Structure 1
Amino acid sequence: MTTHLWIDAGAGVAGDMLLGALVDAGAPLGGIQAAVDAVLPATVRLVATDATRAGLRACKVDVEVLATDQSDRRWSDIRGLLDSAPISEEVRTTALGVFALLARAEAHVHGVEVAEVHFHEVGAWDSIADVVGVAAAVHLLGITSVSAGPVALGSGTARTSHGVVGVPAPATLELATGWDVAPVGEGELTTPTGMALVRGLTDSCEGLPAMRITASGTGAGTRDVDGRANVTRVVIGELDAAGEVDLSGPTPQPLWVLEANVDDLDPRLWPGVLESLMAAGAADAWLTPILMKKGRPAHTVSVLCDGAHRAALREVVLTHTTTLGVREHSVDRVSLGRTWQSVTVRDEQVRVKVSLDADGNIVHATPEFEDVRAAAAATGAPARVVLAEATAAAHAARTGTGPTSTPATPEAPTLP
């Protein structure tokens, strides 16, 4: 069996919230503290307490700073701390990957080279502890694959070291590119560190996958807001040993289609409607232009979903559009087996979504474009070249005619 972690960031995510959820799900705080101490000796202490957010019990993990040094740090400083720490290579690789994503996002936002990036909020001791702590918690729980749902970003403004900025913060928005998001809630619901952890840990954006649930946890944010639980949730379970992909061939999956014809909604509102539907658990949502009676132009909004999300999505359609009713009918969806694999292109890691037939042969191989763009920026190669090389590497890895991916590095015997 494969131990899978699913992150529910539908109410937002920050480093301490995700860490609290993992501790609540069973990750040992002592083991996490040992990993953090290896990177930041005698600098911070993790304290876990029970909290309530909008009436929901959650675990709040606070980082108590024992040292006084809170100066800004370059990306090279943080990389040096992680490279020299006596932690497992899995934890080191995860933490380095998350901070590399942050560095690229900050470089893009401020128009500087990655090597010149200074971390401010995310460079403080507590944020380093959050990233290393989450990486260690995932390792200690034996997680072998991770996915997450759409992320709530929030709205309004937030105060940073650069002054007041709009929400989502520029770095958060850059990190969220290519991910499903929901612009719901007031204030900063997702921080750059939280978004970087989601992107650095996960294989795909999806609703709760089919699995046998073994544990769950809820992590609390700092604020307690009326009417919305300020929490991040995690669900841990077992997937089939086939490796997150069913090779038995395309098989029908029973789903539902919800539809409504709408002719009087301001067209500027439709993108938000579709985003809300995806955030509420739709497998897909789309618009079809139609002509109604008397030649009146209109749209049919269609939603594809499973039975568990049917009622919630019906409510979204009724609430966010002007329709008076929703048509519903059951359908069967037949899809290819899918999985993710990581390939090395010019010494850079690129994730590739792979569709397989019943014999395990690749039908489609689609590199994650954000990884392609990052690899192109890091190597100076054109994105189209990296795209082609990543696709070829995925085919070669599956057929055994080339390297499969970066080989796993043996773990250090000391700390998680």
Structure 2
Amino acid sequence: MSHVWVDASAGVAGDMLLGALLDAGADLAAVRVAVRAVAGDAVSVRAERVTRAGLAATKAHVDLHDEDPPHRTWTTVRGMLAAADLPDPVRRDALAVFGALAAAEGAVHGVPADDVHFHEVGALDSIADVVGVCAALHDLGVTSASAGAVAVGSGTVHAAHGAVPVPVPAVVALSRGRRVRAGGEGELTTPTGMALVAALASADEDLPELTVSAWGSGAGTRDVPGRANVTRVVLGEPSGAAGRPVAHQLEATVDDLDPRLWPGVLARVLAAGAHDAWLVPVLGKKGRPAHVLTVLSPPERSDDLEELVVATTTTLGVRRTACTRLTLDRGWVDVTVEGHRVAVKVGRSRGVVQQVMPEFEDVARVAAELDRPERGVLTAAHAAAAAAGWVVGGPPPGDVLGR
């Protein structure tokens, strides 16, 4: 496994991230092949060694051979990526980046994502940036990514529709759930750069625990006195929490909901795609009895689950916190207790059985069928699993079933 951490503390743009990955060892030839597969001969990529505020870096140049590239819709860009001869991971990542960008631009301009006309983004240079970054990550063997706080800049910038405040609206929309700061004057982060971070960096974190294997710096166009205008990357093998799946923890404190409604709320958020959900009684403001509802959500489901929490409870707001998850490799094995089937959930890690637990609904069913106490059936199911070789601390004796 290889993890990449993106340091966007001085900002990030598509060409800066591409330059950083090339500086870290990505093959320029592989990047060129991928870009050519999408854009043909209308654009080319080259790299140049430069310095920014005394720091050595690689400047990725995207040279256009079409003086008037057309503006393209997300539908058009999606078709170009689908038709291109690209490795599946490169195509998948590029589609994710442009999809995030289309959704953000659509929200900003009040139009469906498929109808968004990309101006800067739809131009060939930005297509080259996105496809180039995705190809560079694939060439480096990167399997997970995270990023720190992003410097977005301040002031105003001139765009197709006139003067726009910095950070521009699309960057703000793409920043949801992530840490940002001004970091300096001007536009330090472009929509393309923020879309790459938002779509590809699954965790918002400071530099995680890594065994470092490579690093690189990608230069921006300007050389700003007193501030290195670069995006940096650090690559390595993850340890600790690095590279773990990311999740969002959604919380709401409620003191005025009929308690008979809570089981239904929990059932609905779980049915809507939450990893888990639970309720904790607390003493709220003014000494009122209250409950804290916590929902562990996949990032792509967080917006919908927040809306569901608001719709099914009386809360006036939901807190969101990014976190990582350690998930054991898990599955099911079947055992029998006096001729009755009981499913047993098994968790494994690094070739060792870590958890063995009979499914209690099966235990209760078998206890009712045998007219025996549930405690006795639970003990018998544990014994049957142990007899089959499923023992905590031991090697798995066979395969598990997915359910």
Distance in 2, Cα, partners of 1:171 & 1:227: 28
Kindly state the Cα deviation for residue 136 of structure 1 after the two structures are TM-superposed: 0.4
In structure 2, the residue matched to 1:324 is none
From 366, 384, 407, the equivalent of 2:296 is 366
Equivalent residues of 1:46, 1:61 under 8 A apart? yes
The structure whose RCO (Cα within 8 Å, separation 6+) is larger is 1
Partner of 1:71: 70
Structure 1 match to 2:246 = 340
Which amino acid in structure 1 is aligned with residue 209 of structure 2?
A
CA displacement at 1:170 relative to structure 2: 0.5
Residue by residue, what CA displacement relative to the aligned partner does 1:176-207 show, whole Å, maximum 9, x if unpaired? 11100111200000000000000111110111
Distance 2:311 2:52 in 1: 44
Classify the secondary structure of the residue corresponding to 2:141.
coil
- 1:384 pairs, out of 297, 301, 308, with 308
**Unaligned residue ranges in structure 1 (runs of 5+):** 246-337, 343-349, 355-363, 389-393, 403-416
The answer (yes or no) to whether the contact 1:178–1:370 under 8 Å persists in 2 is no
**Corresponding residue for residue 93 of structure 1:** 92
Counterpart of 1:224 in 2: which secondary structure?
Answer: coil
Shift of 1:67: 2.3
Query: Deviation of residue 104 (structure 1)?
Result: 0.5
Which residue number corresponds to residue 293 of structure 1?
Answer: none
Check conservation: 1:155, 1:186, Cα contact below 8 A.
yes
Post-superposition CA distance 1:83-105 (Å, at most 9, x none): 01010111001000000100010
Q: Which amino acid aligns with 2:193?
A: G
Larger Rg belongs to = 2
Moved more, 230-239 or 62-71: 62-71
* 1:17 counterpart residue number: 16
Q: Is the 8 A contact 1:10 1:149 kept in 2?
A: yes
Name the structure 2 match of 1:106.
105
Instruction: Check 1:7–1:395 CA distance in 2 against 1; reply closer, same or farther (3 A cut).
Output: closer
CA distance in 2, matches of 1:352, 1:204: 17
Question: Identity over the aligned pairs, expressed in percent?
Answer: 51
Contact map agreement 2:148 2:207 (CA 8 A) in 1: yes
One-letter amino acid of the counterpart of residue 190, structure 2: T
The offset of 1:5, in angstroms, is: 0.2
Quick one: structure 1 residues 59 and 121, their matched pair in 2 at CA, closer, same or farther if it must change by over 3 Å? same
Distance 1:142 1:369, change over 3 A: closer
Paired with 1:351 and 1:230, the residues of 2 have a C-alpha distance of: 40
Secondary structure in 2 matching 1:42: helix
- Aligned residue in 1 for 2:163: 164
User: Deviation of residue 70 (structure 1)?
Assistant: 1.1
Cα distance in 1, alignment partners of residues 10 and 225 from structure 2: 13
CA distance in 1, matches of 2:329, 2:235: 28
Q: Cα gap change, 1:227/1:243 in structure 2, threshold over 3 Å: closer, same or farther?
A: closer
Report the equivalent of 2:52.
Answer: 53
Name the structure 1 match of 2:136: 137
Which amino acid in structure 2 is aligned with residue 3 of structure 1? S
Q: Could you report, residue by residue, the CA deviation over 1:108-166 in whole angstroms, capped at 9, with x for unpaired residues?
A: 10111112211001110000000000000000000011000000010011111111100
> What is the aligned partner in structure 1 of residue 285 from structure 2?
none
Structure 1's 369 and 88: CA in aligned 2 closer, same or farther, altered over 3 A? closer
Q: Which residue of 1 aligns with 2:336?
A: none
Deviations 1:291-338 (A, max 9, x none): xxxxxxxxxxxxxxxxxxxxxxxxxxxxxxxxxxxxxxxxxxxxxxx6
Distance in 2 (CA, whole Å) between partners of 1:387 and 1:206 is 31
Q: 1:28 to 1:157 in 2, by over 3 A?
A: same
Does the 8 Å CA contact 2:219/2:230 hold for their aligned counterparts?
Answer: yes
Matches within 5 A, 1:169-208: 169-208=168-207
CA contact (8 A) 1:372 1:386 kept: no
Unaligned runs of at least 5 residues, structure 2? 249-272, 278-293, 313-324, 333-344, 346-403
Match of 2:29 in 1: 30
User: How large is the Cα RMSD of the aligned pairs?
Assistant: 3.1
Aligned to 1:291: none
Q: Does residue 227 of structure 1 match 2:226?
A: yes
What amino acid is aligned across from residue 222 of structure 1 in structure 2? T
SS in 1 for 2:106: helix
3-state SS of 1:137 partner = helix
Distance 1:172 1:341, change over 3 A: closer
> Aligned residue for 1:296?
none
Question: Residue 296 of structure 2 aligns to which amino acid in structure 1?
Answer: T
C-alpha separation in 1, matches of 2:235 and 2:326: 31
Matched residues, number:
282
Indicate yes or no: 2:79 matched with 1:80.
Answer: yes
2:276 and 2:174 mapped to 1: Cα distance?
19
Report the Cα distance in structure 2 between the residues aligned to 1:10 and 1:180, rounded to whole angstroms. 11
Which residue number in structure 2 is paired with residue 252 of structure 1?
Answer: none
- State the one-letter code of the partner of 2:154: S
**Do the aligned residues in 2 keep the contact of 1:372 with 1:387 (CA within 8 Å)?**
no
**Mapping of residues 312-351 of structure 1, within 5 Å:** 339-340=245-246
* Matched letter for residue 151 of structure 1: V
Moved more, 8-17 or 170-179: 170-179
Separation of aligned partners in 1, 2:228 and 2:153: 13
User: Which residue identity is paired with 1:116?
Assistant: D
Q: How far did 1:351 drift?
A: 10
Q: Does 1:121 align with 2:120?
A: yes
